[in-house]
Amino acid sequence: MQDIKSEILRIEHLYKVFKSGRSFLGSTQKEVVALNRISLSINRGEIFGLVGESGSGKTTTGRLIVKLEEPDDGKMLFDGRDITSIKGKALKGFRRKVQMIFQDPYQSLNPYFSLYDTISEPLLVHNIGDIKAREDVVRQVMTSVGLAPADDFFYRYPHQLSGGQRQRVAIARTMVLKPEFIIADEPTSMLDATISIQIFNILSEIRKKHNATFLFITHSLAAARYLCDRIAVIYRGELVETGSAEDIIQSPQHPYTQALVEAHPRFRCPSP
């Protein structure tokens, strides 16, 4: 059911400060405002891009939404319900619906878990299916992200994989639960162009099939243009513009966005 513009996520004036450079006496303590009261609204079934430079607050936004981090101020609504401070059972239910593909697959994968354990873990945690059913889901998801033949990979550990293979494990792990809302933090930063596009197409496919919603975090305007319906540009913790990718690329308003368009590699491939 594809109803028009029903809002799934709404963020109001989200504010987050980190303390940095802490010394024992606290004298040199400095505050980093990672998010400076950002507001945005994402519709069900949309692929929404968050584009910005390194350190601009993209990952922080994602971590706040999946509730790995507490905001210092502001409000978040999911499906109309205030999720800013949900706990316990409500939080567990929320986590089943909302998943994050973490940026750095070298850090986010448990080194002591085989691939099979890693990818099937969310199913176990949420008590879904029997062994056989879980195995089928895992095999199918692994194949779809290109970890094939899946059985050859089941008993490998993260250190026995290349960077891009780890990244695909991180993607597969979030897909097994068929979440409604997926935050994909630079999900293809380690993949070559042909596989990136494959993954983008898989994400589009999931959107089409399950009407899933995506917050797609990237620093690549070109990737955002390929995949996203709308994008927001974040700069030093503030949203500086929001619109369709095409409009923003054609007529960037903010100086940072202009610089971003400018710096995009003018790489031309020869005509075939």
Partner 1 sequence: MTLLAVDNLCVGYQTRKGFIEAVEGVSFVLKRGRSLGFVGESGCGKTTVGMALMRLLPDNASIRQGSIIFEGQELLAMPAAQLRKIRWKKIAMIFQAAMNALNPIHRVNDQIAEAILAHDPLATKASAMKQVEDLFSLVDIPVDRMRDYPHQYSGGMKQRAVIAMALACHPALIIADEPTTALDVIVQDQILSAVKKFQKQMNISLIFISHDIAVVADVCDDIGVMYAGQLVEYGRREEVFEAPVHPYTKALLASYLTLDGDVVQPMPFTGVTLNLIDPPPGCRFCDRCPLSDAACSLDAPEYAEITPTHKALCFRCK
Ligand X SMILES: Nc1ncnc2c1ncn2[C@@H]1O[C@H](COP(=O)(O)OP(=O)(O)OP(=O)(O)O)[C@@H](O)[C@H]1O
Binding site for Mg ion (CB under 5 A): 59, 103, 162-163
Which amino acid is residue 138, in one-letter code?
Answer: V
For residue 246 the two structure tokens come to 């095409």
Phi, psi angle pair for 129, to nearest 5°: 70, 165
Q: What is the largest CA-CA distance in the chain?
A: 64
DSSP class of 160: G
Bridge partners (DSSP) of residue 12 are 75
Q: b/e map of 130-149 (b: 16 or more CB within 10 Å)?
A: eeeebbebbbebbebbbbee
Q: Hey, CA dihedral for 171, 174, 180, 185, is it positive or negative?
A: negative
Q: Which of residues 185-224 bind ligand X (CB under 6 A)?
A: 190, 219
Contact window for partner 1 (CB under 8 A) among 115-123, 170-178, 204-212, 219-227 = 219-227
3-state class (DSSP) for residue 178: coil
Does position 70 interact with partner 1 (CB under 8 A)? The reply is no
Does position 20 interact with ligand X (CB under 6 A)? The reply is yes
Q: Which of residues 118-157 bind ligand X (CB under 6 A)?
A: none
Contact window for ligand X (CB under 6 A) among 21-29, 37-45, 128-136, 158-166 = 158-166
Q: In the bound complex, what is the minimum distance in angstroms from residue 37's beta carbon to partner 1?
A: 19
Phi, psi angle pair for 36, to nearest 5°: -110, 80
Which amino acid is residue 189, in one-letter code?
Answer: S
**Beta carbons of 65 and 48 less than 8 angstroms apart:** no
Does position 255 interact with partner 1 (CB under 8 A)? The reply is no
**Quick one: angle between helices 163-175 and 193-210, nearest 10?**
0
Residues 2-41, mask of contacts with partner 1 (x by CB under 8 A): ----------------x-xx------x-x-x---------
Q: In the bound complex, what is the minimum distance in angstroms from residue 210's beta carbon to ligand X?
A: 27
Q: In whole angstroms, give the CA distance from residue 269 to residue 255.
A: 28
Does position 189 interact with partner 1 (CB under 8 A)? The reply is yes
Select from 50, 30, 46 the least CA-distant residue to 38. 50
Contact window for ligand X (CB under 6 A) among 90-98, 112-120, 159-167, 239-247 = 159-167
Partner from partner 1, ligand X, Mg ion, none contacting 104, C-beta within 5 to 8 A by type: partner 1
Residues that bind partner 1 (CB under 8 A): 18, 20-21, 28, 30, 32, 52-55, 59, 103-104, 106-107, 143, 146, 148-149, 151-152, 155-156, 159-165, 167-168, 186, 189-198, 219-223, 225-226, 249, 259-261, 263-265, 267, 269-270, 272
Residues that bind ligand X (CB under 6 A): 18, 20, 32, 34, 52, 54-60, 103, 159-165, 190, 219
